[in-house]
Structure 1
Amino acid sequence: MIASGKAYSAEELMPLYEQLEPVSIEFMLGTWRGGKFDGGSEPDPINWYGKRFDSAAHAEPLLVRAKDGSIQAYTALGAAQLREVKFAGKVTATLIYDKQPIMDYFRKVNDDVVIGLGDIKGKPTDFFFHLTRDN
């Protein structure tokens, strides 16, 4: 599904997400390239690159690609931390934003790919994205 670049709805993704195994905080450490399941139909005003998890206590929830090609933290939404939280019946590594009512729950596709589900307070829990480990 990721490789196809096609759009997939939350109704299609949720049953698959629920079957995936949870991940630990340690598994998530490092830098990850991101992508969305929108088939390229939604504009990307910040030129999103991915996420970086330095430790349980500190993460950069949004990395962007600058005009010069460098990867930088997008600071407008603040930093974040990782905690293990139960969601959809499984305890998994969860990114909790410091300054926003946002939590991202992660599930393992394989050793280098995870699916994230963004939970924004007051909105439907239906924003899926994928991350690939950036070696």
Structure 2
Amino acid sequence: MNRKARAVWQGTGKDGSGQLTSDSGVLSSTPYSFKTRFENEKGTNPEELIAAAHAGCFTMALAFQLQGAGFTPTELATEAVVSIEQQGDGFVITKSALTLNADVPGIDRAKFEELARAAEKNCPVSKVLNAEISMNFTLA
């Protein structure tokens, strides 16, 4: 399986701008620029997209872990915060911090943590990130 997205950029790194488009159409000429990445201008940026991918991947992986163990979540809500830091002349994504709020009837905290840690470690986005990954959770 392959998934595709395209980026088109015009201008310099700091003053230029670009658009991101995905084959699914979810991103359709979505703007990104220096200002959307390092300031707060409206648009997206690579780190925000990685955070969304990591939150979505982990949450789905956890749903499969729970299903395999015989549990059906009422809700799994995950926030991912991706950190980018300057190192030398460039920037590095250093962390992805997952915060999960879960409502899973009939599960005890120890079993939930075991399954959540497995999802954190084994979701494909976690495996591709060369960054520190942390996961905290609240179980209703």
TM-score range for the pair, normalised by the shorter chain length: under 0.3
More strand as a share of residues:
1
**Bigger radius of gyration among the two:** 2
Flag the structure with higher helix content: 2
- The two structures have a TM-score, normalised by structure 2, of 0.22
